[in-house]
């Protein structure tokens, strides 16, 4: 019975790659006894390895993610107090949702898509190894206001996306909408840019960056096209879930 039990344990440990750990010894009367201490030691080692492996997975899951917000004055926080801008408020909101993230404000007031493209390397430089986990691209508003040919805006945004994807950096594209006073042809051409690019490059799209804000005077600066602090909070609450989704979809499986 004793030998049968030991044989069963040995067979089990063999399946776990610990074959041969049970040791036969003789007592002072010459009787054979089997020491299971090596088995327990091997089992303890196995459990320790499992714990360390799980700890490594948990540590990887807790690693801080970096998001770069590449944009114009809507991102930069035009006329807002320090810390009240979109990236800073998005970081606070996401951390409240349990997300371990750091937002980098790469917004420059007055910037066009051409400007964003020309400073792309600089915008990424604050991220670890210049490779953030996600880039939110919010550009094109100043192109629209200056009447820049939408074809140029499209090409600049396409180049930004291609450059990021070539570096294996994920993108969330934030769209904008042309006002009707720009003319129907311009309006149609401009408004098609963002959904077309999102489809072409298979990236997530937040269709209108100022959704739920632009049409509410209480959320915009007086006689201005920029959100006030209340507007930023609404903007963050609206786009926030889309940012989390983009971050989680692009995370490697655990």
pLDDT digits (tens, 9 = 90+) for 171-188: 999 999 999 999 999 999
Distance between CA 236 and CA 97 in Å, rounded? 12
Q: Considering only CA atoms, which of 98, 87, 93, 92 is closest in space to residue 248?
A: 98
pLDDT (tens digit, 0 to 9) for every residue of the chain, 254 residues total? Answer: 444 444 544 454 445 444 445 555 555 666 655 555 454 454 444 434 543 444 443 444 569 999 999 999 999 999 999 999 999 999 999 999 999 999 999 999 999 999 999 999 999 999 999 999 999 999 999 999 999 999 999 999 999 999 999 999 999 999 999 999 999 999 999 999 999 999 999 999 999 999 999 999 999 998 789 999 999 999 999 999 999 999 998 655 44
Q: Considering only CA atoms, which of 206, 47, 95, 224 is closest in space to residue 140?
A: 206
Distance between CA 195 and CA 208 in Å, rounded? 10
**pTM to 2 decimal places:** 0.76
113 contacts 175 by C-beta, under 8 angstroms: no
The first and second tokens of residue 66, run together, are 């970096």
Q: Considering only CA atoms, which of 206, 207, 243, 213 is closest in space to residue 231?
A: 213
Residue 165 is predicted with a pLDDT of: 98
The first and second tokens of residue 39, run together, are 């088995």
Token pair 């898509």 is found at: 113
């Amino acid at each position: 019975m004793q030998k049968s039990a030991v044989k069963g344990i040995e067979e089990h440990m063999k399946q776990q790659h610990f074959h041969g750990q049970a040791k036969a010894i003789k007592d002072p009367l010459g009787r054979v006894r089997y020491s299971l201490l090596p088995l327990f030691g091997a089992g303890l080692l196995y459990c320790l390895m499992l714990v360390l492996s799980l700890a490594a997975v948990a540590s990887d899951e807790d690693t801080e993610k970096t998001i770069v917000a590449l944009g114009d004055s809507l991102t930069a926080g035009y006329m807002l107090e320090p810390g009240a801008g979109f990236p800073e408020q998005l970081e606070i909101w996401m951390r409240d949702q349990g997300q371990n993230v750091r937002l980098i404000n790469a917004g420059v007031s007055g910037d066009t898509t051409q400007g964003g493209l020309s400073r792309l390397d600089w915008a990424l430089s604050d991220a670890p190894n210049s490779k953030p986990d996600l880039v939110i691209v919010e550009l094109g508003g100043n192109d629209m206001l200056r009447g820049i040919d939408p074809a140029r805006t499209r090409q600049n945004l396409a180049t930004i996306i291609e450059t990021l994807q070539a570096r294996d950096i994920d993108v969330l594209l934030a769209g904008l909408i042309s006002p009707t006073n720009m003319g129907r042809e311009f309006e149609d051409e401009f408004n098609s840019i963002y959904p077309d690019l999102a489809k072409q490059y298979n990236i997530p799209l937040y269709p209108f960056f100022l959704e739920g804000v632009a049409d509410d005077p209480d959320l915009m600066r007086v006689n201005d096209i920029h959100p006030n602090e209340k507007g930023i909070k609404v903007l963050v609450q609206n786009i926030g879930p889309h940012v989390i989704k983009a971050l989680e979809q692009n995370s490697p499986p655990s």
